[in-house]
A and B are shown apart, each in its own frame.
Chain A
Amino acid sequence: MTSDSRTVVVTGIGAFTPLGADAASTWEGLVAGRSGVSLLEEEWAEDLPVRIAARTAVDPGEVLPRPLARKLDRSAQFAVIAAREAWADAGFTASATEEGSPVAPERLGAVVASGIGGVTTLLDQYDVLKEKGVRRVSPHTVPMLMPNSPAANVGLEVGARAGVHTPVSACASGAEAIGYAIEMIRTGRADVVVAGGTEAAIHPLPIVAFANMMAMSKNNEHPQEASRPYDKARDGFVLGEGAGVVVLESAEHAAARGARVYCEAVGQGLSSDAHHIAQPEPTGSGVARAIAQLLESSDVDPAEIVHVNAHATSTPQGDTAEIKALRRVLGDHLDHIAISATKSMTGHLLGGAGGIETVATVLALHHRVAPPTINVDDLDPEVDADIVIGEPRALPAEGRLTALNNSFGFGGHNVVLAFRTV
C-alpha cells in the first residue's frame, strides 16, 4: 500500500450540542426528533428582529474547570469538551506527550475550525475597554479570539505535534477541517488526527448582521418550528452553537492498537462557486461539481449511497439548489437515498455544522438509522428527493453502506464528505 492511499477510519466521536452534552445524548435527541431551539431570554435580545437560537443543552462552564474555561473563548470551550469525549471514546487515556502513549505526538494532528472564530470574546473585550478602561482588557484576549484557538487548544489537550490547522470557509469550515484531516493521514503526515468544527456566535451583533442579510428565520412566536428545511414556509436558518469532533486514524494504526472502528472516512469532494459572496448558485452547479469530484477521486459507488446528511439550512434558495445538485450527479440513485436535514433540530452551527453533522452521519451508519427532518408540514414540490420526514428511518440492515455529509459556506465553498461502513 502506498503512503497516499492509506485507508482512514473513524475511531472516536464527541459532541456538545443543543441536543445534548455528548454524542450519545445528541444522537438520542436527533432520533427522537427533538428541537434544540428556544426563545432567547437575555435582556439584549428583547428588541432584536430575531430572538431565537439553539443554545447548547448544557453550559460549558458546568463541564470545564473555571481556570481553564476563563482562558478559552466559548467556541474553544465547546471544541475542547467534544475533543476530550472523542479522544476518550477512541480509547486514549492521556495526552500523546505522556510516556507509553499508543500514538507518538509527532504522528498526531488536530484540525478544528469555526466560521467566525472568537467573535464573542472580541466584542465583549471591546465592551470592557470602553466601560472599564485599558488596564482591564484581558491578556488572554488574543489567544482567545484568534480563529485557530480551538484547534490549538485541542492540540494542547491531546498533545498533537504533527500539525495543528484551521481551514476557514464560513459554514463549510467544520467539514473542510475533517477533509483536511483525512488528507493528513492519507498522505502520511499523521497516523491520528482529532478533527471537527465548533461555533459560538449567539451574540447580538452576529444575530443582527445575519438577520439584516435576510438569512435568518424571524419566527420568534414558534421557536421550535422555525428551522424547517424543505418546508414551503421556510424563511431562513436558526443560529445554533456547539461542537462536533471525530478522531480519524489510519486503518493500519487503528488495527494495530485494537481500536473500535465506527466506519471508514472515504474521502471528500471540494469545489467553489465563483458566483456570489453570500448567495448559493441557484442551479446547484458548484455543489454538483463537488459531488462529482468526490466520485472521481474515490471509489465511492453511487449505488451504495443510502443516506445524505444535507446542508439544508432552511433558506428558500439553498435547500432546493442542493437537491438539484444531488439529482444532477446521482440521477436515479437519489431515489434510494434517505436525506436528513438535522439542522431542523440543532439549528445551524455555522462552522460547527460540519462537525456535529459528521458525528450524526457516522452514527447513522453505525446504527443503520437515518435521523428525521422535523417541521416538514408542507414539502416544497421542488424538492425532488426522498426526505426522511418526522420519524427516523431504518437503513438497509445488510451490506456495505455509504453516507454523505454536505456543507457549504458563504464565499461559495462546497464540501462533501463520504463515510462508509466497514
Chain B
Amino acid sequence: MATQEEILEGLAEIVNEIAGIPTEDVQLDKSFTDDLDVDSLSMVEVVVAAEERFDVKIPDDEVKNLKTVGDAVNYIVANS
C-alpha cells in the first residue's frame, strides 16, 4: 500500500499532467479549484487518474468532499 508521501507525489504528477501546475506546488493544504487551476471537469480527470494509479474507487458523491489535496490523500489512504 502506498504511503501518504507516495500518494502526494502521485497526485502531484497527475495534477501536473492535467493542469500544468509544477509538482512542487501541489501541497496538502492546496485547494484544487482555487490554487491549482483544476476546474470541475478537470477534477473528474484527476479522480479517474487517481483511481487507476492507487487502485481505489472514488464515488461521484465523494468527489465534492475532496476540496484540498490533503482531502484526496486522506481519502485514498483510508480506502485503498
Q: Are A and B a genuine interacting pair, yes or no?
A: yes
Chain A contact residues, CB within 8 Å of chain B = 65-67, 70-71, 135-136, 138-140, 143
**Residues of chain A within 8 A of B28, CB atoms compared:** none
Report whether A67 and B45 are in contact in the complex, using a CB–CB cutoff of 8 Å: no
Chain B 33-77 interface 0/1 with A at a Cβ cutoff of 8 Å (1 = within): 000010001101100100100000000000000000000000000
Report whether B48 and A65 are in contact in the complex, using a CB–CB cutoff of 8 Å: no
**Residues of chain A within 8 A of B19, CB atoms compared:** 67
Report whether A66 and B20 are in contact in the complex, using a CB–CB cutoff of 8 Å: yes
Partner of A135, one of B18, B20, B42, B48: B48
Given contacts A67-B19, A135-B51, A140-B42, 4 further A-B contacts (CB under 8 A): A67-B18, A71-B42, A139-B45, A143-B41
CB distance from B26 to the nearest CB of A (A): 14
Chain B 15-27 interface 0/1 with A at a Cβ cutoff of 8 Å (1 = within): 0001110000000
Q: Tell me whether chain A's interface is mostly helix, strand or loop, or mixed.
A: loop
Report whether A67 and B41 are in contact in the complex, using a CB–CB cutoff of 8 Å: no
Closest to B20 in A: A67
Measured in the bound complex, the distance between the Cα atoms of B42 and A361 in whole Å is 40
Report whether B41 and A139 are in contact in the complex, using a CB–CB cutoff of 8 Å: yes
Interface size of B by CB at 8 A reads 10
**Residues of chain B within 8 A of A143, CB atoms compared:** 41
A–B pairs, 16, beta carbons within 8 Å = A66-B20, A67-B18, A67-B19, A71-B41, A71-B42, A135-B48, A135-B51, A136-B48, A138-B45, A139-B41, A139-B42, A139-B44, A139-B45, A140-B41, A140-B42, A143-B41
Q: Tell me whether chain B's interface is mostly helix, strand or loop, or mixed.
A: helix
**Residues of chain A within 8 A of B42, CB atoms compared:** 71, 139-140
CB distance from B48 to the nearest CB of A (A): 6
Closest to A66 in B: B20
Can you list the 5 inter-chain pairs with the closest CB atoms, starting with the nearest?
A67-B20, A139-B44, A139-B41, A67-B19, A140-B41
Measured in the bound complex, the distance between the Cα atoms of B45 and A330 in whole Å is 57
Measured in the bound complex, the distance between the Cα atoms of B45 and A55 in whole Å is 29
Closest to A142 in B: B41
CB distance from B60 to the nearest CB of A (A): 11
Measured in the bound complex, the distance between the Cα atoms of B20 and A157 in whole Å is 18
Measured in the bound complex, the distance between the Cα atoms of B17 and A71 in whole Å is 12
**Residues of chain A within 8 A of B48, CB atoms compared:** 135-136
Report whether B20 and A65 are in contact in the complex, using a CB–CB cutoff of 8 Å: yes
Closest to B38 in A: A67
Measured in the bound complex, the distance between the Cα atoms of B42 and A67 in whole Å is 10
**Residues of chain B within 8 A of A66, CB atoms compared:** 20
Measured in the bound complex, the distance between the Cα atoms of B48 and A65 in whole Å is 22
CB distance from A129 to the nearest CB of B (A): 13
